[in-house]
A and B are shown apart, each in its own frame.
Chain A
Amino acid sequence: MSPSPLLDVRELVVRYGDFTAVDRVSFTLDAGETLALNGPSGCGKSSIALAIPQLRRPHSGEVLFEGRDLTELSERELRPLRPRMQLVFQDPYGSLSPRHRIRDAVAEPLKVQGRWNSADGPLRVAALLERVGLDPSYGDRLPHELSGGQCQRAGIARALASEPRLLILDEPVSALDPSVRAGVLNLLADLQDDLGLGYLFICHDPAVVRHFAHRVLEMRDGRLSAP
């Protein structure tokens, strides 16, 4: 057991105007653990996904990531932490800019974080694409020149380029065919074993959740229901 969890969410409340989307939700997530968040659509799962990295500022509550309360940090203070928590969304095309070639989209986090050099940068990008089961020649393409599943995998490669500690996976595999899905889930499991990543896994497929998650939280109407 690690001394403090990777993520410690306490009494999180997210509101949109008068509507309370997330109502005093608390949970912890350890490094190396997959926690699934389950529940009908509109129950607040995606609001939690956005509130953790402070892409949507919560109304109240604490979000401790590696021991620091993110809700108290300014945008500037958050910037260096953001790469460590990556979001992967369901919409295969939404997570990539339509104007950037796949290669550049995957390289961007390396460049922004000063981990790029022209000698092994391109090799690193090619290796990331291969890890998600994409032939590196797809690097030359624009997102709309890829199929839905290819695009989703490119988005995952980009998220991994940041070397995150925490991945927030919002339906990451629903646009993938079963064998590619299996490859991506195996890849995520390997990365977790090797690097101790923590996964908050939002997924509706019960078979996938049973297979992949260590723990499951059930949500309904913005609240966690008793396990």
Chain B
Amino acid sequence: MSDVVLSVRDLRIAFDGVAAVRGLSFDVYEREVLAVVGESGAGKSLTARALLGMVPRGATTSGQIRLRGSDDLAALRGRRIALVPQDALSALSPVHAVGDQLAAAVRSVQRVSRRQARALAVAALDRVGIPDAGRRARAYPHEFSGGMRQRAVIAMAMVNEPDVVVADEPTTALDTERQEQVLRVLAEQREAVGAALVLVTHDMDAVRAHADRALVLYAGRLSELGPAPDVLERPRAPYTASLLASLPRYARGRRLLALPGSPPAPGALPAGCAFAARCPLAAGRCHTEEPEPADVDGRLVACHRTDDVPHPATDLFDFQEKQPA
């Protein structure tokens, strides 16, 4: 494996003393695509933002995040690490032309003339497939379609050739056709720039198509981390298995597998494994002791009973009984 470009150690993010991210450690390797998947509310977006030194107001953070050995993330933002957010409009200023915004991003990092910055900006827009980029650079974000806007944001993230790009559900707001196009552009650009990509997504097909490794989160902790094909084909954590089993392809009639209950709210965590109340394998130790990530089969798995996870893992689950209306 190549070198570590970004390392996260014991990351904790809390609001009013209540931890939403609870001791997360992982590395991002040079030029890899690391998919971050997991339950809604698990802390994917908080973690993604923490990588850029951008946690929301009111949050307290501890632990260590180092990008090429430096922990001054705010200073590296836009330069060595950049964000592609879900909502392109929030990343672009409505009152400046798209090309000007890119050029400003270039000049904030590189010592180039206005003219050169402008040329770099237009080239970056061209590379992400914006037709007639020279002219379009003078347009405002609202004059772009959703797909073009998202491409422009990708261009903006890539323009200074960062080491790491973090994309938080970059295509959720687009239709499938455009989702695929935009993901492809993101993957190509990452490749061209030589950046690593941390891709937060709910789309398991995108994980399959683009990710080298997958990090699965549940209730603010690592559930499983390993090579994406292994994690998807043969999950070793029951939570990962439940995630895959709920895909429409495993539906029985009109019912999809949906775990009963909801994930614990931060601050209302049980004593043992946070997944225990919903886990078909929960027994004994699961209720008293939170599992720590351990090496299993060339990956990290946090589960006391990983050896009992069957193959195919979907066999773990019964389909949820209909709830009373």
Contacts and interface: CB of A to CB of B under 8 A. Distances in A.
Interface of A: 40-42, 90-91, 130-131, 133-135, 137-138, 144-150, 153, 174-183, 185-187, 189-191, 194-195, 204-208, 210-212
Contact of B255 (A144, A179, A186, A195): A186
Closest 7 CB pairs of A and B: A149-B40, A182-B256, A183-B258, A182-B246, A204-B176, A211-B248, A182-B258
Contact of A176 (B40, B247, B268): B40
Interface in B159-194: 169, 172-179
A40 B246 CA distance: 26
Contacts of B320: 183, 186
A177 B40 contact: yes
Contact of A133 (B38, B87, B173, B262): B262
A186 B45 contact: no
Interface string B187-227: 00000000000000010100000000000000000000000
B89 to A, nearest CB: 10
Contacts of A176: 40, 202
Q: How many residues of B sit at the interface, in one of the four size bands?
A: 35 or more
Contacts, number: 123
A127 B98 CA distance: 46
B23 interface: no
B29 to A, nearest CB: 25
A211 B117 CA distance: 49
Contacts of A133: 261-262
Given A41-B146, A186-B255, A179 B243 contact: yes
A204 B261 CA distance: 27
A194 B87 CA distance: 36
A226 B178 CA distance: 23
A191 B254 CA distance: 13
A131 B254 CA distance: 18
B102 interface: no
Nearest to A137: B265
A16 to B, nearest CB: 14
B111 interface: no
B40 A150 contact: yes
B67 interface: no
A94 to B, nearest CB: 10
22 contacts: A41-B178, A137-B265, A137-B267, A147-B41, A148-B45, A149-B41, A150-B41, A174-B173, A175-B86, A177-B38, A177-B40, A179-B246, A179-B258, A180-B40, A183-B258, A186-B255, A186-B258, A190-B325, A204-B176, A204-B179, A211-B254, A212-B248
A149 B86 CA distance: 13
